[in-house]
Structure 1
């Protein structure tokens, strides 16, 4: 099958959750299918070349779109936000689509016999609107309108809440149209599938969970420091920055007051300068930016903290931690979408305020925490392997092609 995936920046190195998912599924499916990946150039041409070479060595063709995704900082960013008030589509949709992407898609479709197109993020369906008569799959890493609703519910500044409410409603309208146009919508959890069926009225939804590279994380040799807490996540994603703020403002100070020798590692991609400056003034807190391998941090930590109150989909960081045998304490939102049980596989707290006490419980009783982690590890290794999940997505692709063939044959018969 000839499949073209329309995405953002190239998914290598796999240093953010969406990149991990895209890379692992794409590499495995490229063993059986011809895959082309249309991507936006980044601001680092060397990194783009390295990523393109890596993907090419694994059988994935990369096609650059001469259009950069604008940064989320500076005066121009705020000008774009203001201008988006007049747009019918959300800011993220407007800035990730444009004439260059439409031209690249049109040119590629004219030159190649593509059996199936996949939007690697829901907003990219906007630029695929001109594709007619071919199956189109939407990879919905999250239900974006749900995330914006949670932004709205947690924002306390009136002017920001006013703006966020408009983005939320725009995403609801955009997702309703997009999900209706797609041949299939692929989500990462049963919860997201039910949300799309119930709130958006489409039943063409399939679940392909997030996963882990079993061999990669089974190789972790734990050397636990019981009083060391780790937070893992891309700092480019607003929900992670919100979670880190809670961790530094509320949670870790309470832990430190009870256990003065406790330590906190913040590990993630592209932290803002404001966070880097703040950490310099905080006791027992270290920031580790753009690390090449998270496994050493999973090996030495005593527990992972996931204090998310905004989010959607499911958390790869929890799967990776448990696959490495690391205990996890999470909010309900943080553990959403995963088939894990609180008290058996990890600790889930209902309120962010309760997280400090839960972390202290793991520090004071490491054997119980480690027992839960071992239970979670067995479940994750059994149910969340990328090999199994890629095969599931491959069957969805084949089903789309079969359905398209049946529809085409039906039209021809009716035409007679």
Structure 2
């Protein structure tokens, strides 16, 4: 028989209620029962899914909420936006709490990595202490090492999911001359500390998992893959005119923004010299004013911005490009191009996390000049586009599904609970009477 659960209506004590409208927003969800209960801490509302990370979280939580009670806690820099969209997640949560990050109004803490400094809150940790003291939580899930500092000291299993090995991203930023980067060795130290605090650590790509196991062989680490079937695998199609180039991404994410700037300033002018009637469309949310200005002044470029579905734009693309030059995670945008059977030109770093068959199905270009030449060659060669489209179609059929991804995460949660129970039993048997 399932043991009795605690289902608190209100997390926040009286000292927090006064600030609720401005700082905290809580709703009772529609999924209130399950085999066990997870407190899930993340840095953005998963829906609507305008980034790969949001898509991964929303697709897995939709499936897992059928059997598991999930108390979703969001510490966000987009408080108004996420509060406005909160109803989208309610069917998949037992409780939903949205907390405003102080960084959005007070700026960053000095001398901290940007990912850590971006998510500040003086109230979240004590509020979590209150909730966890009430009982009923079987395990805690945390998205990203930078969120771990908000957890109080509790005797509960923790699953930490790393969408990227963050210190490697910061190392690349430093190498590219980012003036705001902080020493990546310091970031690696903080990230490794977070891994040690977790019962189980997961990565979304096998490449990152190998790095984690090399860096920290003593921790329990597992693969928590993305799914790739949300667009639907389309058959190869004929690309007639050979003029339309498309790039998709969340431009608030540093690797994607860097790729967009690289594309607009160095690669695209070279393409137009070779194919003057070529057209480029940039799809996705999160672009700042400077990137929009850059796109507006680039010839034959349309900045489309946020769209409901990228599928229609990918179906009209003669070439999909992914000039991302930072390692880490899995590029959901690239998987969507495989699903729509697009001919693809990509930087080698963009293929991290994909199988070898994916590398054989795209044109890989390392330099800006080679990237531009590869795009132009495909635009001018319909037969080569068709061959690459067929290969992309084949790759899409090999990739994991979102059901696979949900199963892997559920298994990690169950294992963490089992490990936590074993550790508590061991403590009881070794404690003196």
What's the TM-score, normalizing by structure 1? 0.88
The answer to whether structure 1 residue 61 and structure 2 residue 78 are counterparts is no
User: Any residues of structure 2 matched to 1:400-415 within 5 Å, and which?
Assistant: 400-415=416-431
Once the two structures are TM-superposed, the CA of residue 398 in structure 1 deviates from its matched residue by 0.8
Does structure 2 conserve the Cα–Cα contact (< 8 Å) formed by 1:120 and 1:138? yes
Does structure 2 conserve the Cα–Cα contact (< 8 Å) formed by 1:222 and 1:300? no
Does structure 1 conserve the Cα–Cα contact (< 8 Å) formed by 2:39 and 2:140? yes
The answer to whether structure 1 residue 131 and structure 2 residue 153 are counterparts is yes
Question: Of 195, 208, 221, which residue of structure 1 is paired with 2:211?
Answer: 195
Once the two structures are TM-superposed, the CA of residue 106 in structure 1 deviates from its matched residue by 1.4
Q: Which residue of 2 aligns with 1:173?
A: 189
Once the two structures are TM-superposed, the CA of residue 261 in structure 1 deviates from its matched residue by 0.9
User: Any residues of structure 2 matched to 1:3-402 within 5 Å, and which?
Assistant: 3-41=38-76, 43=78, 45=80, 47-59=81-93, 61-70=95-104, 77=107, 80=108, 84-85=110-111, 89-128=112-151, 130-155=152-177, 160=179, 164-166=181-183, 168-214=184-230, 216-218=231-233, 224=239, 226-341=242-357, 344-402=360-418
Once the two structures are TM-superposed, the CA of residue 181 in structure 1 deviates from its matched residue by 1.3
Once the two structures are TM-superposed, the CA of residue 180 in structure 1 deviates from its matched residue by 1.1
Q: Which residue of 1 aligns with 2:32?
A: none
Does structure 1 conserve the Cα–Cα contact (< 8 Å) formed by 2:339 and 2:396? yes
| Partner Cα distance (1:342, 1:397) in 2 | 30
Q: How has the CA–CA distance of structure 1 residues 326 and 64 changed in structure 2, closer, same or farther, with 3 Å as cutoff?
A: same
Q: How has the CA–CA distance of structure 1 residues 280 and 95 changed in structure 2, closer, same or farther, with 3 Å as cutoff?
A: closer
Q: How has the CA–CA distance of structure 1 residues 164 and 68 changed in structure 2, closer, same or farther, with 3 Å as cutoff?
A: closer
SS of residue in 2 equivalent to 1:99: coil
Once the two structures are TM-superposed, the CA of residue 49 in structure 1 deviates from its matched residue by 4.1
Once the two structures are TM-superposed, the CA of residue 41 in structure 1 deviates from its matched residue by 5.0
Does structure 2 conserve the Cα–Cα contact (< 8 Å) formed by 1:67 and 1:101? no
Backbone CA RMSD of aligned residues: 2.3
1:361-409 CA deviation, whole Å, 9 max, x = no partner? 2212233333333333333333221111111111111111111122222
| Partner Cα distance (1:414, 1:17) in 2 | 45
Once the two structures are TM-superposed, the CA of residue 165 in structure 1 deviates from its matched residue by 4.4
Structure having the larger proportion of residues in helix: 1
Q: How has the CA–CA distance of structure 1 residues 288 and 53 changed in structure 2, closer, same or farther, with 3 Å as cutoff?
A: same
1:237-276 CA deviation, whole Å, 9 max, x = no partner? 1221211111111111111111111000011112111222
| Partner Cα distance (1:122, 1:281) in 2 | 38
| Partner Cα distance (1:380, 1:145) in 2 | 30
Does structure 2 conserve the Cα–Cα contact (< 8 Å) formed by 1:10 and 1:39? yes
1:133-175 CA deviation, whole Å, 9 max, x = no partner? 11101110000000011111121x7xx2xx5242x12211101
